[in-house]
Structure 1
Amino acid sequence: MKKTLIASAIAAATFSGSALAQMEMSASELAAKMDSMPTVYGNIQLAVAHRDVEDAGSEIGHYDNGSTIGFKHDHEIAPGITGFFKAELEFDADDKAGNGGLNAFDEAYIGVKGDSFGQVWVGSDDSTYESAVDEIANYYEYAALSVGGSYDTGEGDLIQYSTPSFGGLALHGAVQFNGDGDKGEKSYPYQLAATYSVDAFELAVAMDSNDGDRAYSSNVDGSSVNNENTYGVRGSYTAGDLRVTAQYQTRKDVGDSWGLFGGYSIGANTFALSYEFADADNTDEETSTITAQALHNLSDNMYVYVEGYLNNADSGVADVDTTDLVVGAVYYF
């Protein structure tokens, strides 16, 4: 009787151990499958903006300010070589009527990277020039009155490459492939950049050949103003919670622009102030913008902000001030 009970207990323990091992194997396989799935991320950005134009009245509106949902993934192709992709789709979170859901996209590319050769990626992404030099306009949430740079190459059909860092120095390049059937004319505009980082200081220089049509993969319609290159330089200094940036851009027979930026973080709060100025060639046109921002992080996934813009546009004939006041909130995951 006792021997039978002992044998039954051993059999039960053996069966339970086998079942547990199978369950553990299934959990391990499930975890591996989960690790192989792409990361899903996104945000909803909403803002209320009031604009006042000198001698032309004012308006107020509730806007979507760039809500997106995205997917990204990377995997090891071989030791030291990683393949990756990213796709970021846009939607309007403010309007219900007539809303088409996912109605546009911001970024979509694939690529490979490795410690020994750097990174190459193909598709739609922020361009090499924009990433290297045009920091100030891209910093702010609303930025409708920011000056920005006078470069034409868009963000679509780009083939981009960045070298590894050689003691803080990295080289970057991009070519846009505009084929026969694409919007605009067949062309291959290119961008080149070099960035150097040492301790708290960053320096970047870049150029854009501007060989393409602005109507291609750009938010600006019409042909390029001219075929002259755009050149830019940026210097930034970061000391703890303080970041200071100065940048300058120029294009022959178009004009020059420059800007100064300062940002400081205190706990959950960030404050930023900048001045941008653009001077057109061959005309008396001048544009300047003063921008201030106060941003508060409510949590790791949500922040609110207030931005104010004062823009002065002097055409040589008329001098017009435009003021924007924006209150916004962003939830992201």
Structure 2
Amino acid sequence: MKKTLIASAIAAATISGSVMAQESNLPTVYGNIQYVLKHTNVDGAGSTIEHADNGSTLGIKHDHEIAPGITGFFKLELQGINADDKDSSNGIDALDEAYIGVKGDSFGQVWVGSDDSVYESAIVKIGNFHEVGSDIFGNYETGEGDLVQYMSPSFGGLTLAGAVQINGDGDSRTFGNKSYPYQLVATYAVDALEVSAGMDSNDGPGINNENSYGLTATYNMGDLSVIGEFQTRKDVNDIMGVMGVYTMGANQFALSYQVQDVDSTGDKNDTIILQALHNVSDNMYVYFEGYLSSADGATYYADPDGTTAAGDEQTIASVGAVYYF
């Protein structure tokens, strides 16, 4: 009887340990639903109001130890949910990110697939910060698909990164012409200061093959962070921006200014953005964002499809909520 009880206990412990091991190796499922109510007014061209899905996603990710100090990982993130209106939604119908890779403390990490490029991640801080999104972003062309990317470990605060996009004969964006645009980025972090410098070769069937160059600096002073950004590309445009972000408990306040000079026309446009964000809980936040944009030419449309009259001044007022897990 005792032997039977002991055997049963051992079997139960073995099964329990096996289940726990399997559970610890399960992938992580994550996602979010994002809603925004946005009012857009273009001087001389009317106004619109819209309740929209602002980028809801559903994803899965996983990593595991291949060998001591070496980890394999993958991520798959889907979007196109259109959570604001089921009549216009076909479910999840678009890809945001999908990649696999390996990483280690001694050699850094390398990953392959669709992801934000190393240039975008390091340089485009202001354009990526806001919820609704600025009309001024970047002047580079290398996309987020068919990428092979690498990031080194930190060498005394210095991190190096690179990416190459493999555009083969069958890729629609190359019009049957092979191309291999690449990016290089160096980031140096010391104490409260972080500085990143990057370039994109822009090789391919774009505006031209002139390189894009970018420089971003971030200085953290406790609850206050200040970011400066500059991007340039010959015969395309120059982009400059500055942003301050202040956190106060569960609240975040941000003010930014961006200006873009277009080389081909000599026109200039600029945008001021104010954000107030409140973290309701660990899984939910709400926000207000106000945008004021002006341009030398009539480049703004009240209708998102660009089918109405245009104007040279635009204001956007938006309120939104995000639930994520």
1:81-136 alpha-carbon deviations (Å, 9 max, x no partner): 11000000112211111411111011000000111111100000000110110000
Distance 1:86 1:319 in 2: 42
Match of 1:92 among 77, 82, 94: 82
Which runs of 5 or more structure 1 residues have no equivalent in the other structure? Answer: 1-10, 214-223
Distance 1:282 1:147 in 2: 17
**Which residue is equivalent to 2:207?**
225
Question: Do residues 288 (structure 1) and 280 (structure 2) align?
Answer: no
**Which residue is equivalent to 1:23?**
12
Correspondence 1:89-128 to 2 at 5 A: 89-90=78-79, 91-128=81-118
Distance 1:68 1:280 in 2: 34
1:214-241 alpha-carbon deviations (Å, 9 max, x no partner): xxxxxxxxxx211100000000011222
Match of 2:202 among 205, 210, 233: 210
1:216-274 alpha-carbon deviations (Å, 9 max, x no partner): xxxxxxxx211100000000011222111001000001111100001011110000000
Q: Per chain length, whose mean CA-contact separation is higher, i.e. which structure has more relative contact order (CA < 8 Å, sep 6+)?
A: 2
Question: Do residues 238 (structure 1) and 220 (structure 2) align?
Answer: yes
Question: Do residues 189 (structure 1) and 181 (structure 2) align?
Answer: yes
Deviation (angstroms), 1:31: 0.8
**Which residue is equivalent to 2:239?**
257
Distance 1:24 1:288 in 2: 65
Distance 2:5 2:246 in 1: 60
Distance 2:193 2:208 in 1: 34
**Which residue is equivalent to 1:307?**
289
Distance 1:95 1:103 in 2: 14
Query: Letter of the aligned partner of 1:190 in structure 2?
Result: Y
Distance 2:193 2:184 in 1: 21
**What TM-score, normalized to structure 2?**
0.93
Correspondence 1:160-171 to 2 at 5 A: 160-171=149-160
Contact (CA 8 Å) 2:298, 2:312: kept in 1 or not? no
Match of 1:273 among 249, 252, 255: 255
SS of corresponding position for 2:21: helix
Distance 1:295 1:17 in 2: 58
Deviation (angstroms), 1:21: 2.4
Query: Letter of the aligned partner of 1:35 in structure 2?
Result: S
**Which residue is equivalent to 2:127?**
137
Query: Letter of the aligned partner of 1:40 in structure 2?
Result: V
**What TM-score, normalized to structure 1?**
0.91
Deviation (angstroms), 1:15: 2.8
Correspondence 1:31-180 to 2 at 5 A: 31-90=20-79, 91-143=81-133, 145-180=134-169
Percent identical pairs in the alignment equals 58
1:128-155 alpha-carbon deviations (Å, 9 max, x no partner): 1101100001000111x43111001100
Contact (CA 8 Å) 2:82, 2:88: kept in 1 or not? no
Higher-Rg structure is 1
Distance 2:76 2:166 in 1: 19
Distance 2:169 2:95 in 1: 23
Distance 2:173 2:22 in 1: 44
Query: Letter of the aligned partner of 2:54 in structure 1?
Result: N
Distance 2:150 2:204 in 1: 19
Distance 1:150 1:304 in 2: 31
Query: Letter of the aligned partner of 2:289 in structure 1?
Result: E
Which runs of 5 or more structure 2 residues have no equivalent in the other structure? Answer: 300-309
Deviation (angstroms), 1:184: 2.3
Distance 2:191 2:19 in 1: 43
SS of corresponding position for 2:16: helix
Distance 1:135 1:94 in 2: 28
Deviation (angstroms), 1:319: 6.8
**Structure 1 residues 316 and 31, CA, compared in 2 at 3 Å: closer, same or farther?**
closer
Contact (CA 8 Å) 1:190, 1:208: kept in 2 or not? yes
Runs of 4+ in 1 over 6 A off after TM superposition: 316-319
